[in-house]
Structure 1
């Protein structure tokens, strides 16, 4: 790996959250991030690629563009793929697989394209080919231009390595982090989730407050690339500082199993000292001692859990409790039904783009501090 080489980096995120990820990348000091469809582009060397995987809470995966050429037919694709500088990036002893897509190109069969590139890579580099390989080459043929990118992440980045137990219809950590960001959360205020499920919002909030990087406990595909500098990578991880939060983070749920699940997940994440989870009905919810902060909740909604008509009472009760007891607190509610949000009788700020969650388009409804 040449630390001086700059690449086009594409950080993938959940559709609808591109602007939120762009804001996170700007705050983290990435060079000129630009939102696109399904992700954010930036420029940088390998250290920035490592940092994107390690530090970005809203990233799903990090792709690095390693080269491109024009190809008008499969024979030309085969010839030019054989001359590509694979050895600069890939090790001959590490399994690899190729995924291809074709758009508006004379090469229109993605399967045939992937087969030619795979054969060229295997015969020229000697690397084993495997369907379950952690190293994935993504070949995109768009308007006869073939572009190669490496998925440097491996497993999806929402898999932090801490959450072994999940409840029904869990919120992914990457989405939770960006919803927190969109609610204005910066780690300096308490957070309450009264339907905490497996504790995702509460744990993410505590990690942000403590300065714990999301990728600290897992490995990444880039560690198996050619020329990977393990010493520099260890130095980057060692530079991360822990700052014990000055506030606490609270989750509750009417399901005792969810509460135990959240406690276990918080312990694995190393934030148990700053989080509280309890079994509690919405009607018993009260604000914790201390300054106001953020209430954020991903309640049941039609198509995810339960029948919409049966949920009106739940949302109405939630809204009543928040309006009467949480003065000065901001609220964020994620749901796919505008009518369910409306029944809370909370005054919401203008909404952003819908976000795909488990195949359902959801919207974050936010309030200003409650009067």
Structure 2
């Protein structure tokens, strides 16, 4: 895996959102992406890895596939791991760690497998192993077949680097961007979130419209690799396709603290000029001046029966307000409960499979244009 060699690159996402991620990857100009369980694969070199981390909004992490081989025994795993040219990939003075998952294989003890791979890397490269190292080698052993990857992202990619304040049960930016895409959003219409929390949907929508790279404010694990070219990377980061959005993006929330958080996050993301946040209940929201667009929200779920009964009234109030005042707009509501969504009285299209989110499974309920 030298600087010019092409290899398999895996972009991870939540199960159920793979098609949306693949559509984004194609739109960003990457060649021949393929949907696989849990993400998208494509082929490319290190520049494609850097661009994927910098450009792609929906991926939670980007993995560079180092090697794939059969391994039924720990000794075999260690020997095959020693055959990999680690000196071309990692630096001897940068600590690393190994994380392993095992499934349906003779090698079933992930800790023992991690020890063997770590030993192989240390003996061939000389780099120290550390449980807190920012460089992670990931191994997946499934059906006696081992796939070794370098985690090129480091921190998960929803950590854009310009959002500090979050509220309870926040929607991850990566997932929010794919839900926006699933609702047909392309940056060419206004967006309103009437339960905006820390502003995730509004800020993502504004960034998409302004063509701001999601990874522009952060660092990545690949910057510590032996394959890293700092001059080429800086040149890539400096290329901007930023534009001034034609539309505005709105968030409201009944909580004053949420509005303060949203405004602070929007300022750090440099989208204050395109966003407006105001304190309001769902019964008080009004459509902004201008053309209709998309209303999208991560509604409260309620995990206990009492919560659901109280929340039904909230969903009914939201639905009534939207039906009466937001004709011409589309609606997307993310929630765990079909009964709560239908309590809104909104004319939802058929729903797709649930998406894992924060230990729960959520559905995206969408409408066509409200009439």
TM-score, normalised relative to structure 2: 0.97
Per the TM alignment, residue 305 of structure 1 is displaced from its structure 2 partner at its CA by 11
Contact 1:300–1:306, Cα closer than 8 Å, also in 2? no
In 2: Cα distance, 1:72 partner to 1:2 partner: 28
1:11-64 per-position Cα deviation (integer Å, ceiling 9, x unaligned): 011222111111111211222212222111111111111111111111100011
In 2: Cα distance, 1:271 partner to 1:151 partner: 30
Q: Does 1:52 align with 2:52?
A: yes
In 2: Cα distance, 1:314 partner to 1:103 partner: 44
In 2: Cα distance, 1:166 partner to 1:349 partner: 31
User: 2:347 is matched with which residue?
Assistant: 347
User: 1:115 is matched with which residue?
Assistant: 115
User: 1:132 is matched with which residue?
Assistant: 132
In 2: Cα distance, 1:258 partner to 1:124 partner: 51
Task: Could you tell me which runs of 5 or more consecutive residues in structure 1 were left unpaired when the two chains were aligned.
Answer: none
Task: Could you tell me which runs of 5 or more consecutive residues in structure 2 were left unpaired when the two chains were aligned.
Answer: none
* Root mean square deviation, CA, Å: 1.5
In 2: Cα distance, 1:143 partner to 1:188 partner: 46
User: 1:42 is matched with which residue?
Assistant: 42
User: 1:291 is matched with which residue?
Assistant: 291
User: 2:281 is matched with which residue?
Assistant: 281
- The alpha-carbon distance between structure 1 residues 342 and 34, as it changes in their structure 2 partners (threshold 3 A), is same
User: Number of aligned pairs?
Assistant: 371
User: 1:336 is matched with which residue?
Assistant: 336
Per the TM alignment, residue 252 of structure 1 is displaced from its structure 2 partner at its CA by 0.5
In the TM superposition, 1:1-371 aligns within 5 A as 2-303=2-303, 307-371=307-371
TM-score, normalised relative to structure 1: 0.97
In 1: Cα distance, 2:63 partner to 2:18 partner: 15
Contact 2:46–2:227, Cα closer than 8 Å, also in 1? no
- The alpha-carbon distance between structure 1 residues 50 and 359, as it changes in their structure 2 partners (threshold 3 A), is same
Contact 2:154–2:220, Cα closer than 8 Å, also in 1? yes
In 1: Cα distance, 2:248 partner to 2:235 partner: 30
In 2: Cα distance, 1:226 partner to 1:49 partner: 14
In 2: Cα distance, 1:124 partner to 1:294 partner: 55
Per the TM alignment, residue 76 of structure 1 is displaced from its structure 2 partner at its CA by 2.3
In 1: Cα distance, 2:190 partner to 2:249 partner: 5
